[in-house]
Amino acid sequence: MPIIQAVNSGPLAGGETWANVFHFDANTQTPEELQDVIDRLFVFEQAIKTQQTDSCVLQRQVARYVGTDGKPLAGEGLEVVRDLPGSGGSAALPNEVALVISWRTGVPGRTGRGRTYLPGWPEAKSDAQVGEGTAARPVTGTVQAVRNAALDLVDPAGLFPPSLSVLSRTNLVNRIVLSGYVNNEWDTQRRRGNKLSHTRSGF
């Protein structure tokens, strides 16, 4: 089956940028499929941007089919320029602070799961500190908004391709996402600071 790689990207506060990469299990390898993926990810971003700071902007969307080497095919694809800022507030948390969507395919281990890090959050979307030396949590409404946006992307039965998937960089096997979760805690790729116990909002 053809595979589509799609990237949403744009600027953050302080002149930094963000980018999220997604993969989809495709069907017919047509321009219409690429447009469908672009449209779905735009709806996803619209939901996320209701929570994010106005300095986090969706500026560019690109969708391309993937070759046998797992890399996007050069010269074949669709690019859309956007201007969709967040509307959740201005005073921002550090750019390193992110909410993370974890995608699951039913296959254990790293080859069967994926993650999407979402930066660009207002201070107002973070609860007050819970005890000295511990990290604050994202507010419940923000976690639920991200969870709902992620759920809307998932097509576990593959009935409406292109279907969101996880492409293993180890063996280039592409698997449809079946479920996932959003933790009710902030994260960074460096994973610094004390951790709190957490719950998961499944989908």
- Note the pLDDT tens digit of each residue in 15-58: 999 999 999 999 988 999 999 999 999 999 999 999 999 999 99
Phi/psi-derived region of residue 189, left when phi > 0, alpha when psi is between -120 and 50, beta in every other case: alpha
Place 193 in a pLDDT band, splitting at 50, 70 and 90.
Answer: very low
Query: What per-residue confidence (pLDDT) applies to 111?
Result: 87
pTM of the model: 0.89
Q: Residue 8 in contact with residue 61, Cβ under 8 Å?
A: yes
Mean pLDDT calculated for residue range 127-156 = 84
Q: Residue 119 in contact with residue 57, Cβ under 8 Å?
A: no
Question: Alpha-carbon distance 112 to 125, whole Å?
Answer: 31
Neighbours of 120 (CB within 10 A): 28
Taking CA atoms, 29 is separated from 3, 164, 174, in Å, by: 8, 15, 15
Comparing 146 with 110, the larger pLDDT belongs to 146
Query: What per-residue confidence (pLDDT) applies to 198?
Result: 65
Query: What per-residue confidence (pLDDT) applies to 75?
Result: 77
- Note the pLDDT tens digit of each residue in 66-107: 998 888 988 779 999 999 999 988 789 999 999 999 999 999
Query: What per-residue confidence (pLDDT) applies to 133?
Result: 52
Place 117 in a pLDDT band, splitting at 50, 70 and 90.
Answer: very high
Place 169 in a pLDDT band, splitting at 50, 70 and 90.
Answer: confident
- The rounded mean pLDDT for the chain is 90
Question: Alpha-carbon distance 157 to 135, whole Å?
Answer: 38
Mean pLDDT calculated for residue range 184-193 = 69
Q: Is the pLDDT of residue 194 over 90?
A: no
